[in-house]
Structure 1
C-alpha cells in the first residue's frame, strides 16, 4: 500500500486524528463530530 493512498483526518469538535487508507471518514468514532481531511506534513 502506497503512502499516497493514506489520508489523515481530524475531528473539528474534539481534535481526534485518524489516518486511514482508501476510505472516506466523515464521522468521529469518539464524539460523533465531523472529520475533515488534514494535509500530511512531510519532512
Structure 2
C-alpha cells in the first residue's frame, strides 16, 4: 500500500495527501506514501 501511494504521489501528490488524511492507514503506509512528497516539497 505504501509503495503504491509513494509511486502515485509522483503523478498526483494532492490526491495522495487527501487519501492519507481521509483514511486510517498503518503508520508505515502513511510514511511511505508521504516519503517522496516530503523530499520534494
> So what's the TM-score if we normalise by structure 1?
0.25
Task: Select the structure with the greater relative contact order (CA < 8 A; seq sep ≥ 6).
Answer: 2
The structure whose Rg is larger is: 1
> So what's the TM-score if we normalise by structure 2?
0.25
**Structure with greater proportional helix content:** 2
**Structure with greater proportional strand content:** 1
